Chains A and B, each alone.
Chain A
Amino acid sequence: MTNETRRDLRMVGTTTSAGGVFRNIKLTGESRLSGDVDCYKLSNTGDLTINGSLRSEELGLTGECEIQGSLQTSKARGRGEIKVSNGLRGENIKFTGSIDVGGDCEAGSLEVDGAINVAGLLSADRLDLKMYGPCKATEIGGSILRVKRSKATRIINLLKSSDHAVLYAEQIEGDKVELEHTEAGVVRGNHVKIGPGCEIGRVEYRDKLEVHKGSTVKEKVQR
């Protein structure tokens, strides 16, 4: 890292600024950063668009955030909506709302209450997904993967019947996999638990497989 001193950036209202290297960034309102941003901490309340990539040790978001590049962070917290065009990499992410990633989404621990859509690979050492809406990823991989439908969806479904909280994936691989309401081509794991509402083409497991009676698994292979 460069030795130059990092400055803080604060913006309130409808503002635009160039990107750059900062210490702490605090944004309120409708902000646009037109370039790559590198900072220690970014907190945003409102609507944020970054025309570039964001790299921030810590990230706190409330509202909408669109990053037209990649996102790299150690710790991210927030609620609202994140859209990343070109890959997300993080250590510890906890988010309520919707995450939309073009490219791969890779995290150490990823806890999402809401919906997540990943164009490529979704990977996490620990994935904890509580679905409020439809979720999708081409591939999911990691050590402990837990996908559940949030209890609140029952209430939401009373209000609008369409969007079902279901996860679609071509392939899911993990050491310990627990799924609910998932449609997947292949699930591979050591310990696999298929909960209610699943439709799985093929499960390959090593130690243990449990299948809920309300789910279908076309093919089961122990290896």
Chain B
Amino acid sequence: MEQELISKKELLDEKGISYGQLYRWKRKQLIPEEWFIRKSTFTGQETFFPKDLILTRIDKIMNMKDDLSLDELADKLSPLLPAFELRKADLFKRNIVSHVVLERFASEDKESVVYTYEKLLYFYIVDKLLQAGEMSLEEGDKLLQTMKDHYPKFEGKPCELLFMRKMGVSSFALLSVPAEIYFETGVKLIARLSMAESIEHLKGKLE
């Protein structure tokens, strides 16, 4: 699950935007700093972006920029956790995470319990990995605990979730990005996902 990258040039061509727009959006913090990935190529330094993230973000900006000012847009796109809460009953009704997840991990919570965005995000990620068939329910418990214990420590700074397995034993890790990580042989990286990306996806689902 390595991230696919797109060069700045390709991005500008594909989306038909100008350098000025790109730099303006960066200045207005519509595009997060850490998406600008600098790499050396044979023509010198070039900037790359995580392809899926930047393409959806640019579409979003282009769609909304006529109705909202850039500053209003920035609030909407802020990478911080939105102040969004949802009651368990609504979560169930709107099918944002599967019923299996709610039964397994939230059976003790009353229907009227209100979940914070953080909590919703945890459920969403667990659900995503379960649905992909990459993770068992028991591992889901462990993942939920890992995120609960450690995710708040990042205080909104960008981080990634790693899920790996070696000889059938699984483990999770959260690491701040950008970071390079190498494993001993025999370790299989099952999933690597950006929390920021998940926040975005969930935001899209909740809208």
A binds B: yes
For window 1-54 of chain B, which residues contact chain A by CB distance below 8 Å?
Answer: 8-9, 18-24, 26-27, 43-45
**Across the two chains, which residue of chain A brings its CB closest to B8?**
A173
In the complex, A174 Cα to B44 Cα: how many Å?
17
B43 touches A125 (CB 8 A): no
**With contacts A89-B27, A106-B26, A123-B27 known, is A143 near B44, CB below 8 A?**
no
B24 touches A125 (CB 8 A): yes
Interface of A is mostly: strand
Number of interface residues of A (CB under 8 A): 24
Residues of B within 8 A of A144 (CB): 20
Residues of A within 8 A of B19 (CB): 141-143, 173-175, 188-190
In the complex, A108 Cα to B25 Cα: how many Å?
11
Using CB atoms and an 8 Å cutoff, list the residues of chain A in contact with chain B.
89, 106-108, 123-125, 141-144, 170-171, 173-175, 185-186, 188-190, 201-202, 223
B44 touches A202 (CB 8 A): yes
In the complex, A89 Cα to B22 Cα: how many Å?
16
A186 touches B23 (CB 8 A): no
**Across the two chains, which residue of chain B brings its CB closest to A138?**
B45
Residues of B within 8 A of A141 (CB): 19, 22-23
A175 touches B44 (CB 8 A): no
In the complex, A171 Cα to B47 Cα: how many Å?
11
In the complex, A214 Cα to B152 Cα: how many Å?
58
From the candidates A107, A108, A170, A223, name the one contacting B45 in the complex (CB within 8 A). Answer: A170
B20 touches A171 (CB 8 A): no
From the candidates B23, B43, B44, name the one contacting A142 in the complex (CB within 8 A). Answer: B23
A106 touches B44 (CB 8 A): no
Residues of B within 8 A of A171 (CB): 44-45
Residues of B within 8 A of A143 (CB): 18-21, 23-24
Min Cβ gap B47→A in Å is 9
6 nearest A-B pairs in the assembled complex, by CB-CB distance: A143-B20, A106-B27, A141-B23, A123-B23, A175-B18, A175-B20
Min Cβ gap B36→A in Å is 9
From the candidates A106, A107, A174, A201, name the one contacting B20 in the complex (CB within 8 A). Answer: A174
In the complex, A106 Cα to B44 Cα: how many Å?
23
Residues of B within 8 A of A125 (CB): 20, 23-24
Min Cβ gap A211→B in Å is 19
Q: Which of B23, B43, B44 has the largest number of chain A CB atoms within 10 A?
A: B23
